[in-house]
Amino acid sequence: MTQDSHVPFGMPRPVALDLAEVAPETVTRNGALAADEPEAAVAIAEGINVEAAARESGVFEVIEDLDRELVGLDPVKTRIREVAALLVVDMARRRFGLEAERPNLHMCFTGSPGTGKTTVAMRMATVLHRLGYLAKGHLVAVTRDELVGQYIGHTAPKTREVLKRAMGGVLFIDEAYYLHRQENDRDYGQEAIEILLQVMENQRNDIVVILAGYKDRMDQFFSSNPGMGSRIAHHIDFPDYDLDELVAIARIMLDRQNYAFSSDAAPAFRELMSRRMPQPRFANARSVRNALERARLRQANRLVSTGMLVTRDDLMRIEAEDIYKSRWFTEAGRQGSPEA
Amino acid sequence: MHVTQGTFSYLPPLTDAQINAQVQYSLDNVWAISVEFTDDPHPRNFLWDMWGLPMFDMRDPAAILLEVQRCRDAYPTRYIRVNAYDRTLGRQTTALSFIVQRPKDEKGFRLDRQEGRDRQVRYTIHPYALDRPPGERYER
């Protein structure tokens, strides 16, 4: 039959501190501290190597991956490191019977498009899962459409359905400020916000909500929904990438798809980005990806039209001419591309 | 009288942690889970009222327990059960069904005898709860 020990389910592989062992006690610990004294004493005698514990939980691997695969974003990385450290210490404290409330883990990511908010949210889910704060560690990404209904009585079940799907993981609400429509106070978005708040408060152990969007509009959103702002502990701002970082991102993206810049393509790409950056609708890493996609198209076209034998190297290499044909060179008009 | 219907019904009522474990087991098997309630405990009454739609793509038992709790809040005096449906070809049936809430005072059943022709007697089970109109059967 069912075991009596109320081990939280879906607990990830046992963490060094053996959360599974600790958790059931913490549930009943209020006022029952004396009962655990002997065990706590043993643990204190041994001491806990917090760093080793964190290492064994595999959290550092995730964070190192994050460091390696994501260019720039230093404030974000620092913040995630801090959050992870807090959670590791929190685990250690529980081991010693130092009761503290489960830290508030709801977050708000602000920043321009393409600065890696979704990617970081996904990593965050993994980190929280490894540390045992989330049972499953999956990410459910939604926008207003998936939360807010079309008619009276439609919103609540819809929002609740999404929340239930996200249980045990992270609910990522992109452009969360659209939930609140200032000009229309009968908008159903308000209902969705209320249900969100209720679940964020009551089911803190089962779900982590991450809101994302532009900084200024997010601030506006919080000022009109103070309850939401106060329930979010971590406000993380994602800075825009600079030119060097964009080129580094391009290299990583190409590398992942087994492409590479030729020696003169890299400066060409750098120039392309310097022209693209001040333009409207520049979306950081997303623009880099789009530019690379188009470069791939042109490379394919060039290879097909040569009519000569193509080597493995040719197939992998993006040449400068593939980049100079971009409309940012021709339309800007300042400098015609050398080839076209 | 303790109604014994579905799995685990000969055991003491399951705790939330035990329900959680059973739901996790069902989720691991990719069974669709639904919550149902009734105030008619007759053993032949297998069609209970649905509490919302069955839940298909849930990952965590917390989601199902949330619905169970909402159902309990709405109907604190009725029977509530959790069903898990196995859609696998060849099975396509309820794989697990267990009661997660029962009324405080379960009223039990009486045996009715009906005299037929030729000294024949027909027996039928009658839940005492049914003597009151639906909705008030377990209210005090």
> Could you please report the per-residue DSSP string of A245-299?
HHHHHHHHHHHHTT-EE-TTHHHHHHHHHHHHTTSTT--HHHHHHHHHHHHHHHH
Hey, is the C-beta of B58 within 8 angstroms of any chain A C-beta? yes
**Which pLDDT does position A36 carry in this prediction?**
43
**Which pLDDT does position A55 carry in this prediction?**
73
Chain-chain contact of B22 with A206 (C-beta, under 8 angstroms): no
Phi-psi region of A137 (alpha: psi -120 to 50; beta: other; left: phi over 0): left
Choose from B60, B65, B66, B67 for mutation: most chain A CBs within 10 A.
B60
Report helix, strand or coil for A187.
coil
Q: What is the C-alpha to C-alpha distance for residues A167 and A138, in angstroms, rounded to an integer?
A: 9
pTM of the model: 0.76
**Which pLDDT does position A181 carry in this prediction?**
84
Size of interface A-B (CB pairs under 8 A): 55
pLDDT tens per residue across span A73-117: 888 888 888 888 888 888 788 878 887 777 888 999 999 888 889
pLDDT < 70 stretches in chain A: 1-48, 331-340
Give the model's confidence band at B114: pLDDT under 50 very low, under 70 low, under 90 confident, else very high.
very high
ipTM greater than 0.90, yes or no? no
Mean pLDDT across chain A: 80
Report helix, strand or coil for B13.
coil
Q: What is the C-alpha to C-alpha distance for residues A212 and A116, in angstroms, rounded to an integer?
A: 11
Choose from A9, A129, A134 for mutation: most chain B CBs within 10 A.
A9
**Which pLDDT does position B10 carry in this prediction?**
93
- Alpha carbon B101 to its chain centroid, in Å, reads 8
Q: What is the mean pLDDT of residues B6-13?
A: 92
**Which pLDDT does position A113 carry in this prediction?**
86
Q: What is the C-alpha to C-alpha distance for residues A262 and A320, in angstroms, rounded to an integer?
A: 7
Chain-chain contact of B63 with A3 (C-beta, under 8 angstroms): no
- Given a cut of 90, whether residue B14 has pLDDT beyond it is yes
Give the model's confidence band at B95: pLDDT under 50 very low, under 70 low, under 90 confident, else very high.
very high
> Which of B17, B62, B64 shows the shortest C-beta gap to A203?
B62
